[in-house]
Structure 1
Amino acid sequence: MSSISFSHSLRRLWALERFGPSLRFFIALTGSMTWCWYSGQMELLTPLFLGVIASALAESDDSWQGRLFSLCVTLICFFFTAMAVELLHPYPWLFISALCAATFCLIMLGALGERYATVAYATLILAIYTMIGLEQSRDALAPIWQQPMYLVIGAAIYGVLSVAWYGLFSQQPLQHSLARLFREQCHYLKAKSALFEPIRNADIESQRLALANQNSRVVAALNDTKAIILHRVGGRSNSKINRYLKLYFLAQDIHERASSSHYPYQKLSEAFFHSDVLFRCLRLLRQQGDGCKALAKAIELRQPFDYGGGHSAALEDLQAAIAYLKQQNNPEWRDLLRSLRALANNLSTLDHLLRDAANPDALALTQDNTIFDRDPKTFKEAFERISQHFSIHSLLFRHALRLSIAVAVCYGVMQLMHVSQGYWILLTTLFVCRPNYGATRNRLVERIAGTILGLAASWVLFELFPELWVQSLIAVAAGVVYFATRTSHYKISTAFITLMVLFCFNQVGDGYNLFLPRLTDTLIGSAIAGLAVFFILPDWQGRRLNVVLAQTLRNNGRYLKQIMQEYTQGKTDDMAYRVARRDAHNADAALSSTLTNMLKEPGHFRRQTDIGFRFLLLSHTLLSYISALGAHREKLAHAPTYLVLNQEAQLLADSLEQIAQKLIKREPIDVQSDAEQQQSYRLRDLPEEEDDTLRLLQTQLLLISQQLGSIRTLAAHVLSNSEAKQVADLQ
């Protein structure tokens, strides 16, 4: 029994997402520490540890072949960067000019994709690590290549472990990503179920806002999973990961159906307040959310997925409740009952999708199972991608320029103040300065708090454990905790990296002498980062809110057009359709993220937050109505009135595009449109069809058209408030 329990514990430990990288990091640090102890060269511990950290920061998901190529490129970049620092360090003006130019160029490489941005950022960090090593080194006669070589050796130690790990356990990152995706789907379904609870005076707006924010997390998980699949298959399916590719496509279908809305929930609640039909919808959605959670656990633990029983009974109860309502022959419920039947059909299909997840190998891939890869494939494409960002309007360009100036200021402060261990100022600014004010403010607070916490813990541990061999073990343990928490708990990770650095330096010197410099440099570097993001080409979210809103409307319109092509030609789920669907959800997530960042900005710059959140509710509702059309796709080209409905859908998409263009160009937007009002009348007065799918198409288009008036009103307010703010700024 104990062996079974131990095996289960190991399986759960293996399933932890940070376990693999943390284990590799632990082995690399332990190996470096052991070699330094046995060779009696503890002065080499710092460059080896810093090299390991830089290599771990440069790591991005890939196949083992791609990871090997990336490692070779990374080591070459690291070596030449470290050598350049060594050579230019005695010449301050030349050194800072080269450092600023390198900072700008490396940040701009982020335009090529996340993998390039990761390596470029780690290379920049390694340059600062080289400076720290130079300042700490006591051997003035050491050859110029010695520190770069040991930095690269440390990086190679972790890199080799990473390549070997990706070769042996190549599917583990994909399993973790899929599990995270289905957990987010679970949270979305649970949040969606709250809308079906018929409560008087329910705060529907806050519920929908929470749903929109959760949708952005689902979209982020979908994008992460797609990137991992692309790194392994290069855009086409592979026999080894077909199972996970099918689960990814299944998750896309679940997301489309889960995000669908078939009628305003408040009207459904008012009409069926005394019926149990909405409670049955709520119960079924929560059960399906639990199914997604169980699927995530099964993927992580590599165990069979059992959807479980009880779902069929819940679905039958829902259909029976709808049938009972239909027997009441209430003419006021006619349209509502059609929407309820469509909702029940959608939940039934969602139930089947989750059952299919129990045996994904039996699923057939669609005819077009390619995945759109946005990364450049040639040097020409890479150059064009980067050149597109050479504009003051590019957020990446502004961040690169801002960070370059901040680096120059840091170096100037170091030279003027002659502070001890002054390169920590540069390192702090590099870590704290983010592309926008909100993220920088969070990093700044957490960096300072984490540093103080780390210094306090270091002082206590220095007193308790004066033995150097014990301190070396503490340094390794602190490094592992830092690495495991660096993306999720930045304050904690800062505390532990502070502890690790002090204990490493204490192996060859007096760690107590570094307490004050570490705190002082952190405060100075954080202050420079905060001032830079506030004064140097600040990216206030409100100033580009009109563009973000426009992208949301534009992508919703394109998604609607792609859906109508599916109704015309039949359901295909081809790349064009999937790209349009993903772009619409990405735009919705980008709006949610923009508004969240606006809340963290100074009061003067977040005056449009209320309007922005009201727009988010409208745009997410609009996307939900469009998604419902996508969930019920079938060929209707020869059905009666379809031609008329298709024309109305194209007009709706054109209206969304027109509002988007006016938002981007900051042109006046009419609050009312007679053409759109007439269109709503036409959709409402179309002859009723016996076919439920046609009637659903008509109902959803009517719901979409009814959103346009409110969208126009809010869009006009955004532009008028933006103009008023610009006038106030000029005054």
Structure 2
Amino acid sequence: MWRRIIYHPEVNYALRQTLVLCLPVAVGWLLGDLQRGLLFALIPACCNIAGLDTPHKRFFKRLVVGGSLFAFSSFAIQYFGLLHVPLPVIMFVMTMLLGITGEISPLHGRLLPGALIAAIFTISLEGRMPIWQPPLLYILGTIWYGLFNWFWFWLWKEQPMRETLSLLYRELADYCEAKYTLLTRLTDLETALPPLLARQQKAVDLINLCYQQMHMLSGGKQNEYKRLTRAFQVALDLQEHIAVSLPQPEEVQKLVEQSHAEAVIRWNAQTIAKRLRVLADDILYHRLPDRFSMSKPLSALEKITRHHSDNPVGHFCYHHFSRIGRVLRTQRPLYQRDLMADRQRRLPLIPALRSYLSLKSSALRTAGRFAVMLSFASTLALFLNMPKPYWVLMTTMFVSQNGYSATRVRIQHRALGTLAGLVIAALTLRLHVPETLVLLVMLLVTLVSYLFIRKYYGWAMIGFTVTAVYSLQLLSLNGADFLWPRLLDTLLGCLIAFGGMLWLWPQWQSGLLRQNAHDALGAYQSALQLLLGNEQQPEKLAYQRIRVNQAHNALFNSLNQAMQEPAFNSHYLADMKLWVTHSQFIVEDINAMTILAREHTMLTSDLAERYLQTCEIALQRCQQRLEYDGPGSETNIMEAPENFHEGPITVVERHVRRILSHLKVMHTISSLAWSQRPHHGNWLSGKLRK
């Protein structure tokens, strides 16, 4: 029981965040300086936003950089304020200077909002203490935050990777169960495919996260991560076999009508899914897995395969289920991969600065958007005679996300949660509760809020608003005066963030669809060059297969976000949805061909070269159609692939021919859809970036 409590991801996260916040408050209360303890507890908010709680092999180096940026931001906003530099100018210049962190790496990019939050918090402290105290407070707070998290991750050293791997195994279980439960409904692509594609993309997202964690933790070089590394390699094998494409739907229907194959296949899939969920719990709660065997469902499937040897569906399912069963029984991957070979690189400062100064830099656009929003909010605060507009600026920062849909949802949750929290605080402030009881209730509310914040941000905001009101009540006895102005500030900050995301250099996913589609086709071409080339090296094939899945994942995520953006052509998005569906079929065929290449069931060199040339021509024509801004023409329509030889078609040839047929449909869709594309900025209508 205690394992399920202490190792549960939400509980573990809530305990860590609550202790790092409340221990300084408790120490300050015991020493008779509660106000100093409450101020000290504000620093972890900046550290959380800056990602300084991310386990990393350069953990302390990132703490030094983060603490230095916090102190610099705090000192700069006070110093230039004393020089009577207008607040909008300070916020604009500071944001544009710190925006270069986003060009170094995505993790460094999180330092920008953290440093800006530090500067905004400092606005509330101006005039209450000397100019040197807030920077010192940020330095000491960052040291405390870093030491506490270092100790916490030392106690639970493997826990971040265990949580991700557990989620990955659960997602694979859901995907396997859903895919083979819908076996006879796969003919209806409109209803059956979207849920399967969503589950597949979640699994790829988690695989990508596992890779990132291994690189950040140097997991491949540390002995304590060997068991988790093996579990990750097992998950890659499972994803490879679960994600392969089924044969033709008409063959599936024929086998189901002639036998009880549907029940047997579902039995196998549910057995695999049940075992994967057990392994997910074993990984998360530090338990050794028990013995496993699926010989009975596999025997039943083998019997159906023998009786219907002319139907490829039975052979397909038995081939993949038997290998999945072997992996689950032995808990060892089918072959070893060097997971650390594809290392993530950081861009040095000088090249990052050169890239940042380009108008095509996404980091520059992000920093510019923040700079304009904060400058506008500061100007509006000066116009409305707000003495310290920190709450408007802070709300703008907290609700601003990477995309339109995420920002809109965060704004709704923040506004409603703040309103409910202020109502609760207004009612409870009349009770005149003793200080000791107030602190205990704040501790409990903080713990409960962190339990819900990952999945239910709005509910968590209710608790955080109540604790913020009572913190001000304990600091300056003006909690009641805080209620109405802070609600207006919250609404104002939400409106500014929404307008900034809508009109200021937005990263419209519908505009990125073309680039992501182009990148996906390039990844497919690289994979086919390896698969149909002279040397099929398992390590290179494994990495390229993951790159193919990740490229399609970026395309799929762009499509999902684009469908939630305002004022876009629904016909264009419907056509692109069909384009992405055929792209998914190509990914599944490449997954299957990767398995066949590793098992040495490939084509002859001459035949493979001719197929490769045809595939490259088809892929390049699809890419040219995406690069060409004019209407479609008959000269670009691809002809049907020629018959290279007479005789029976092998399994690999069948996959290649299916890829060619999908590319032909995708080229036709591009020709029809591209003229309907939206035009929402110059960067959408020019040539693709190189």
TM-score, normalization by structure 2: 0.92
2:428 is the alignment partner of 1:461: yes
**1:250 and 1:671, CA in 2 relative to 1: closer, same or farther beyond 3 A?**
farther
1:603, 1:65 → 2: CA distance? 44
**Does structure 2 conserve the Cα–Cα contact (< 8 Å) formed by 1:62 and 1:232?**
no
Counterpart AA for 1:613: K
Question: 2:167 — aligned with what?
Answer: 180
Q: 1:393 deviation in Å?
A: 3.9
Quote the residue 1:5 is aligned against. none
| Alignment-mate amino acid for residue 277 of structure 2 | K
**Within 2, Cα distance between the matches of 1:65 and 1:271?**
53
> Which residue of structure 2 lines up, in the alignment, with residue 629 of structure 1?
593
Q: CA deviation at 1:214?
A: 1.2
> 1:278 and 1:240 mapped to 2: Cα distance?
43
Q: Residues of 1 paired with 2:179 and 2:318: CA distance? A: 15
Aligned twin of 2:133: 146
Question: Would the aligned equivalents of 1:429 and 1:528 in 2 still touch at CA under 8 Å?
Answer: yes
Map of 1:597 onto structure 2: 561
1:249-648 counterparts in 2 under 5 A? 249-270=233-254, 272-306=256-290, 308-309=292-293, 311-326=294-309, 334=310, 337-357=311-331, 360=332, 366=336, 368-376=338-346, 379=348, 382-385=349-352, 387-388=354-355, 390-419=357-386, 421-464=388-431, 466-508=433-475, 509-565=477-533, 568-570=534-536, 572-574=537-539, 576-604=540-568, 606-634=570-598, 636=600, 641-648=604-611
Q: Deviation per CA, 1:270-316: give whole Å up to 9, x if none.
A: 5643422233223212221222211111001111113634x211111
Q: How does 1:37-76 map to 2 (within 5 A)?
A: 37-60=29-52, 66-76=58-68
Q: Distance in 2 between matches of 1:110 and 1:725?
A: 24
1:93 partner SS: coil
| Cα distance per residue 1:116-162 (max 9 Å; x no partner) | 1233322221111111233xx6x4xx322123323333333222111
Amino acid at match of 2:564: K
The 3 A distance-change label for structure 1 pair 324 and 385 is farther
Greater shift, 208-217 or 74-83, is seen at 74-83
Q: Return the offset for 1:650.
A: 4.0
Within the candidate set 228, 231, 234, 2:216 is matched to 231
Question: Aligned AA for 1:366?
Answer: Q
Deviation at 1:364, TM superposition (A): 8.7
- CA distance in 2: counterparts of 1:169 and 1:432, whole angstroms: 31
Asked if the contact 1:262/1:339 (under 8 Å) is kept, the reply is yes
* Alpha-carbon distance, 1:63 to partner: 5.3
Instruction: Indicate if the aligned counterparts of 1:32 and 1:154 stay in contact, CA closer than 8 A.
Output: no
| Identity between Structure 1 and Structure 2 (%) | 19
Structure 1 segment 129-168 matched on structure 2, within 5 A:
129-134=121-126, 139=128, 142-168=129-155
Contact 2:625-2:671 within 8 A present in 1 as well? no
Equivalent residue letter for 1:320: K
1:6 is aligned to none
Give the direction of change, closer, same or farther, for the CA distance of 1:208–1:307 in structure 2 (3 Å limit): farther
| 1:698 maps onto 2:658 in alignment | no
Q: 2:196 aligns with which of 185, 188, 211?
A: 211
In structure 2, relative to structure 1, the CA distance for the partners of 1:355 and 1:672 (3 Å cut) is farther
- The answer (yes or no) to whether the contact 1:195–1:204 under 8 Å persists in 2 is no
Change (3 A) 1:282 1:552: farther
Give a deviation string over 1:24-70, Cα, whole Å, max 9, x none: 33223332222322333333244212112222333456657632222
Name the SS for the 1:260 alignment partner: coil
* Residue 438 of structure 1: how far off its partner (Å): 1.7
- In the alignment, the residues of structure 1 paired with residue 285 and residue 161 of structure 2 have an alpha-carbon distance, to the nearest angstrom, of 13
Query: Which position in structure 1 is the counterpart of 2:643?
Result: 682
- Contact persistence 1:82–1:126 (CA under 8 A): yes
Tell me which residue corresponds to 1:123.
115
Gaps of 5+ in 1: 1-8, 327-333, 690-694
User: What secondary structure is seen at the aligned counterpart in 2 of 1:86?
Assistant: helix
Which segment is superposed worse, 243-252 or 366-375? 366-375
Q: 1:662 aligns with which of 625, 629, 645?
A: 625
| 2:688 paired residue number | none
Q: What 5-or-longer segments of structure 2 have no aligned partner?
A: 686-690
Separation in structure 2 between the aligned mates of residue 525 and residue 720 of structure 1, nearest angstrom: 38
Change (3 A) 1:665 1:479: farther
The correspondence for 1:110, drawn from 98, 102, 111, is 102
Contact kept, 8 Å, 1:668 with 1:719, in 2: the verdict is yes
Give, as a single letter, the amino acid of the residue that structure 1 aligns with 2:260. D
What is the Cα deviation at residue 478 of structure 1? 3.1
3-state SS of paired residue (2:373):
helix
Partner of 1:720: 675
Aligned in 2, Cα 1:389/1:607: closer, same or farther, shift over 3 Å? farther
- Listed one character per residue, the Cα deviations across residues 380-400 of structure 1 (whole Å, up to 9, x for unaligned) are xx5435543544444433222
Number of aligned pairs? Answer: 683
Return the offset for 1:712. Answer: 1.2
Aligned partner of 1:329 in structure 2 is none
Structure 1 residues 207 and 176: CA distance shift in structure 2, 3 A: same
Asked if structure 2 preserves the Cα contact closer than 8 Å seen for 1:64 and 1:167, the reply is: no
CA contact (8 A) 1:107 1:121 kept: no
Structure-2 change in CA distance of 1:708 and 1:56 (3 Å): closer
**How far apart are 1:348 and its partner, in Å?**
1.1
Q: Give distance in 2, aligned partners of 1:542 and 1:549.
A: 11
Instruction: Report which stretch shifted further, 176-185 or 394-403.
Output: 394-403
- 2:396 touches 2:493 (CA, 8 Å); kept in 1? yes
* Worse-superposed segment, 216-225 or 96-105: 96-105
Distance 2:387 2:565 in 1: 34
CA RMSD of aligned residues (A): 2.8
TM-score, with length taken from structure 1: 0.87
1:31 matched to which residue of 2?
A: 23
For the Cα contact (< 8 Å) 1:56–1:159, is it kept in 2?
no
Compute the displacement of 1:339 (Å): 5.0
Q: Given residue 535 of structure 2, which amino acid in structure 1 is its aligned partner? A: Q
Return the letter of the residue paired with 1:34.
Answer: A
- Residues of 1 paired with 2:658 and 2:275: CA distance? 31
Letter in 1 for 2:507: D
